[in-house]
């Protein structure tokens, strides 16, 4: 099985700065994996597919699961720490947010494929939240998403590390310092 200690998830609601943070971490030399949702939406729009959150949320969740499992296996094969823009438990959280049943195979995937027990949460941040062609959620849904993700990861045994509401470079400093400390501790245990 993969070394979950070297796989770090950043989760939260849409428009909370996750992707910007992950891009900043990549510029600092960290290995990163992109978010599933935006890429899936772009692909589905391009092919006029039904797997969109505003068309078929259950299908969208299945597409996200496939993407997140592929990302998991790619990160697990890496010899260096990897920062992931969301993880498999985010699919559970998404279905919960949508008041849809969580199929047993998705719950099993969230439990079978673990990440580092400390998960970074980008909380809702009103001053940076924006909508665009792929991010159609309103502010209320964005805030609710962050709360559901925190509840989902906590229920699955993860510890939430809330990212500070500071500029991207300060946020990246916070995360880099935290990662270095966690990696040092995992090497000495």
For residue 18, the model assigns a pLDDT of 87
For residue 132, the model assigns a pLDDT of 54
* Below-50 pLDDT ranges, the chain: 1, 135
For residue 34, the model assigns a pLDDT of 85
For residue 30, the model assigns a pLDDT of 94
Domain 4-188 CATH assignment equals 3.30.1440.10: no
For residue 5, the model assigns a pLDDT of 85
Q: What is the DSSP letter of 50?
A: S
For residue 187, the model assigns a pLDDT of 59
For residue 116, the model assigns a pLDDT of 95
pLDDT tens digits, one per residue of 62-105? 999 999 999 999 999 998 999 999 999 999 999 999 999 999 99
């Amino acid at each position: 099985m993969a070394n979950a200690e070297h796989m770090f998830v950043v989760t939260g609601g849409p428009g909370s700065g996750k992707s910007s943070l992950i891009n900043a971490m990549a510029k600092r030399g960290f290995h990163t994996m992109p978010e599933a949702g935006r890429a899936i939406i772009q692909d589905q729009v391009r092919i006029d597919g039904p797997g969109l959150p505003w068309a078929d949320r259950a299908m969208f969740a299945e597409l996200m699961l496939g993407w997140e499992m592929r990302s998991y296996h790619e990160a697990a094969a890496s010899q260096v720490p990897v920062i992931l823009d969301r993880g498999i438990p985010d699919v559970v959280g998404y279905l919960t947010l949508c008041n849809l049943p969580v199929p047993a195979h998705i719950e099993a995937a969230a439990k079978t494929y673990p990440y580092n027990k400390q998960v970074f949460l980008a909380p809702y941040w009103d001053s940076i939240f924006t909508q665009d062609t792929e991010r159609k959620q309103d502010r209320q849904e964005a805030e609710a998403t962050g709360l559901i993700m925190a509840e989902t990861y906590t229920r699955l045994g993860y510890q939430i590390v809330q990212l500070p509401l500071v500029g991207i470079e300060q946020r990246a400093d916070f995360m880099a310092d935290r990662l270095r400390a966690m990696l040092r501790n995992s090497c000495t245990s």
